[in-house]
Amino acid sequence: MRGPGNYATHGLGWTVKQVVIRELVEGKKMALCVDTEGQYIEVTTALQRTGITPEAGQTWLVDRTYGIWSFAARLDLEK
């Protein structure tokens, strides 16, 4: 039996990523994002943990706390 944590912490790859939102797909409640390695990933917009509405062009940290990629924190990297 596995110890504390969820399945994302047990060998399935990164559990936190920095992404830039490219497009919001409202019908699917998903955002199409690109991570720092250039890979596209879908992030759910159905979970609202921050109270900030994601918008195209924003930079976010996403994680798999709930099993799927969801927005964890918005990064304001502007100088």
Q: Residue 21 maps to which CATH number?
A: 2.40.50.140
Dump pLDDT digits (tens) for 22-61.
999 989 999 999 999 999 999 999 998 888 999 999 999 9
- Phi-psi label, residue 25: left if phi above 0, alpha if psi -120 to 50, beta otherwise: beta
Residue 10 predicted with pLDDT over 70: no
Number of domains in the chain: 1
Cβ contact 54:24 at 8 Å: yes
Query: Is residue 2 domain-resident?
Result: no
What is the extent of the structural domain holding 50? Answer: 17-75
Residue 5 predicted with pLDDT over 80: no
Query: Is residue 63 domain-resident?
Result: yes
CA 20 to chain centre: 9
Query: Is residue 58 domain-resident?
Result: yes
pTM for the whole structure = 0.78
**What distances in angstroms separate CA 5 from CA 9, 47, 67, 69, one per listed residue?**
6, 19, 11, 16
Query: Is residue 11 domain-resident?
Result: no
